[in-house]
């Protein structure tokens, strides 16, 4: 694997356009927003917020703190220890008198240790102990130092990566209902049971209606307490609101409703994902590419998400759309089986395998969208997507409609006076949207503007805006954020005779295709 330290470091600090906003959000709120995104497994979106603080805050403490959190994110979530070290070294060089400098110097040791660079870790921990002999972290530094000294001379990052993959769970917990007022379990005439701690609260034929009564659940109107319940359907798949799911179904009362989780093995989970992300009628090589990308995304999320204690993923576009057993088709199950255990790896670990509907002819880099310079998510020419549906589009929006949608997203503009675009990315997508309003100037990135207007309305950030009598005409190319694999491009490549491996290496750079046996591990 080529050494990317210099390239990644330069991209992190010099290639990413600043995210500028006219209305200042308190940094404390931004840090909370980033933490919430990380809990949801959305590392790239969290990166964008830390970049916003770093580029927009005048407070040195806040900027240093943003760099510290970026270093943690790059090390633990994005598998880029060199970039993490660059963030920490930037704190030492630029913000040595801030309150986070001690944490940064300690982190230099832990980052290099966790990446298997034990000699470097020894140096960093020794320097920390010399500088802060009486600090409360010095005892921890001494313990880390002893371990690093024992391992020094056995620099073997692969062992670190294999250890991480050994932590990959065998099952995935998918949130399939979120704070619903009512949930219906089972099917008419089919026997079922609702259990609490293994003991039946209900036994009989379905369906069963669950509602909330105060803080408790109620089964067909009978109070059942506030504990987690499970569903048992002997010889049949459990059903939730009429839909069948493999594996186990559990549910519990929330403050504002009932939530339901489906727990199942990873490969059967993908059976319910693939037909929702790509048409079963598409060529098998494209479906195999999507199966590998979806599996990779799942592995990465399972290894990096440290959020809700009850579930790992949601069955929505915020993660991957999941339809359960009812969505399965033979045409999409076969590609999952044919690629069983295969995933895309960078330096041995699963990548964030972003994908989108259509690139419009050029994919986008992750740093242009989220401010995260990832070696495997670079912009590539993509002629395969140019003639596909949604390759080009038009949409006219009235000014008052735009204002309402901006307010719905938390921005507070007045009436729109003018709108211009600037700072195009290397792919040609809009880097910045500048909106002059009666309440001041609002500046958004192209992707943020797209999300505010609606991602099915402004279908990509690759657009131009032309003023009309009552609003603006937007004309663009592509559908989605444009990062990673273009699904319509994959379809065209497959119909042209390319294999799934070739498709994946076209859209994801500096990666390896790796297999893991989930029953016997590697």
DSSP 15-40: ISPP---SSPPPHHHHHHHHHHHHHT
Residue 288 pLDDT > 80, yes or no? yes
Q: Which letter does DSSP use for residue 468 in this model?
A: -
Check residues 143 and 388 and name the one with the higher pLDDT: 143
Q: CB burial class (10 A; 0-12, 13-18, 19+) of residue 235?
A: exposed
Tell me how far apart the alpha carbons of residues 426 and 395 are, in angstroms, rounded to a whole number: 24
Residue 52 lies in a domain: yes
Check residues 8 and 65 and name the one with the higher pLDDT: 65
Question: How many H-runs (helices) and E-runs (strands) does the chain carry?
Answer: 17, 24
β-strand partners of 436: 418, 441
CB proximity list for 150: less than 8 A, separation 6 or greater: none
- Residue 3 has a pLDDT of 33
* pLDDT tens-digit readout, 381-423: 999 999 887 789 999 999 999 999 999 988 889 999 999 999 9
What's the mean pLDDT in 207-217?
Answer: 90
Choose the weakest-confidence range: 182-196, 261-275, 301-315: 301-315
Tell me how far apart the alpha carbons of residues 124 and 138 are, in angstroms, rounded to a whole number: 12
| CB-based contact 15:378 (threshold 8 Å) | no
- How many angstroms separate the Cα of 235 from the Cα of each of 83, 148, 244, 315? 51, 53, 13, 25
Residue 78 lies in a domain: yes
Residue 21 pLDDT > 60, yes or no? no
Residue 193 lies in a domain: no
Check residues 108 and 159 and name the one with the higher pLDDT: 108
Residue 270 lies in a domain: no
Check residues 319 and 162 and name the one with the higher pLDDT: 319
Residue 14 lies in a domain: yes
| CB-based contact 47:12 (threshold 8 Å) | no
Helices 60-76, 43-56: axis angle to 10 degrees equals 160
| CB-based contact 274:290 (threshold 8 Å) | yes
Tell me how far apart the alpha carbons of residues 102 and 132 are, in angstroms, rounded to a whole number: 8
- Residue 86 has a pLDDT of 95
Per-residue confidence band for 12, with pLDDT thresholds at 50, 70 and 90:
very low
* pLDDT tens-digit readout, 465-491: 999 999 999 999 999 999 999 999 999
- Residue 254 has a pLDDT of 87
Check residues 150 and 9 and name the one with the higher pLDDT: 150
Residue 16 lies in a domain: yes
- For 141, the domain range is 5-155
- Residue 18 has a pLDDT of 36
CATH number (domain holding residue 37): 1.25.40.10
* pLDDT tens-digit readout, 160-185: 666 778 889 999 999 999 999 999 99
- Residue 161 has a pLDDT of 65
| CB-based contact 438:415 (threshold 8 Å) | yes
- How many angstroms separate the Cα of 507 from the Cα of each of 4, 389, 484? 19, 19, 6
The total number of structural domains that make up the chain: 1
| CB-based contact 514:343 (threshold 8 Å) | yes
Residue 234 lies in a domain: no
CB neighbours of residue 130 within 10 Å: 9
| Stated pTM of the model | 0.87
Residue 215 lies in a domain: no
Q: What is the largest CA-CA distance in the chain?
A: 74
Per-residue confidence band for 4, with pLDDT thresholds at 50, 70 and 90:
very low
Tell me how far apart the alpha carbons of residues 34 and 41 are, in angstroms, rounded to a whole number: 11
CB neighbours of residue 59 within 10 Å: 12
Spatial CA neighbour of 380 closest among 493, 508, 469: 508
Tell me how far apart the alpha carbons of residues 427 and 363 are, in angstroms, rounded to a whole number: 7
* pLDDT tens-digit readout, 98-117: 999 999 999 999 999 988 88
Q: Which letter does DSSP use for residue 362 in this model?
A: B
Tell me how far apart the alpha carbons of residues 82 and 6 are, in angstroms, rounded to a whole number: 9
- How many angstroms separate the Cα of 172 from the Cα of each of 48, 258, 264, 335? 27, 20, 6, 20
Spatial CA neighbour of 464 closest among 371, 388, 386, 393: 393
Tell me how far apart the alpha carbons of residues 70 and 83 are, in angstroms, rounded to a whole number: 9
């Amino acid at each position: 694997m080529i050494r990317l330290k210099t390239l990644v470091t330069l991209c992190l600090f010099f290639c990413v356009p600043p995210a500028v906003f006219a209305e200042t959000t308190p940094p404390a709120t931004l840090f909370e927003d980033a933490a919430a995104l990380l809990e949801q497994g959305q590392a790239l979106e969290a990166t964008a917020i830390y970049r916003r603080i770093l580029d927009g805050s005048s407070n040195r403490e806040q900027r240093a703190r943003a760099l510290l959190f970026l270093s943690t994110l790059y090390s633990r979530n994005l598998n880029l220890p060199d970039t993490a070290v660059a963030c920490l070294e930037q704190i030492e060089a630029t913000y040595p008198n801030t309150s986070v400098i001690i944490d940064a110097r300690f982190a230099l040791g832990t980052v290099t240790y966790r990446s298997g660079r034990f000699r470097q870790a020894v140096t960093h921990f020794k320097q920390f102990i010399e500088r802060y002999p009486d600090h409360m972290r010095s005892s921890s530094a001494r313990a880390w130092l002893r371990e690093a000294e024992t391992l020094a001379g056995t620099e073997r990052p692969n062992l670190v990566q294999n250890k991480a993959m050994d932590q990959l769970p065998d099952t995935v917990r998918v949130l399939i209902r979120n704070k619903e007022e009512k949930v219906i379990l089972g099917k008419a005439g089919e026997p079922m049971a609702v259990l609490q701690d293994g003991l039946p609260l209900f036994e009989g034929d379905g369906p069963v209606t669950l509602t909330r009564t105060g803080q408790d659940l109620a089964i067909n109107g009978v109070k059942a307490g506030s504990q987690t319940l499970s569903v048992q359907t002997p010889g049949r798949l459990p059903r939730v609101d009429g839909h069948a799911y493999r594996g186990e179904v559990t549910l519990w009362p929330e403050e504002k409703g009932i939530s339901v989780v489906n727990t199942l093995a990873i490969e059967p989970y993908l059976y319910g994902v693939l037909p929702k992300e790509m048409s079963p009628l598409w060529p098998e090589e494209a479906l195999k590419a999507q199966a590998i990308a979806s599996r990779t995304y799942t592995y990465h999320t399972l290894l990096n998400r440290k959020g809700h204690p009850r579930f790992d993923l949601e069955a929505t576009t915020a993660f991957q759309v999941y339809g359960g057993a009812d969505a399965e088709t033979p045409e999409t199950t076969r590609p999952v089986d044919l690629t069983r255990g295969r995933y895309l790896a960078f330096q041995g670990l699963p990548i964030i395998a972003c994908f989108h509907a259509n690139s419009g002819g050029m994919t986008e880099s992750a740093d242009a969208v989220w401010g995260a310079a990832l070696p495997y998510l670079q912009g590539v020419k993509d002629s395969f997507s140019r003639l596909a549906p949604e390759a080009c589009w038009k949409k006219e929006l009235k000014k008052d409609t735009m204002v309402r949608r901006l307010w719905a997203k938390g921005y507070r503009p007045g009436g729109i006076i003018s709108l211009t675009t600037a700072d195009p990315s290397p792919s040609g997508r809009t880097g910045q949207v500048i909106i002059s309003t009666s309440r001041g100037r609002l500046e958004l990135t192209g992707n943020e503007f797209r999300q505010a207007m609606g991602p099915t309305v402004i279908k990509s950030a690759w657009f131009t805006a032309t003023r009309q009598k009552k609003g603006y005409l937007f004309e663009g190319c592509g559908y989605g954020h444009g990062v990673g694999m273009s699904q319509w491009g994959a379809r065209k490549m497959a119909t042209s005779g390319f294999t799934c491996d070739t498709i994946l290496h076209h859209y994801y750079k500096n990666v390896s295709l790796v297999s893991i046996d989930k029953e016997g591990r590697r």
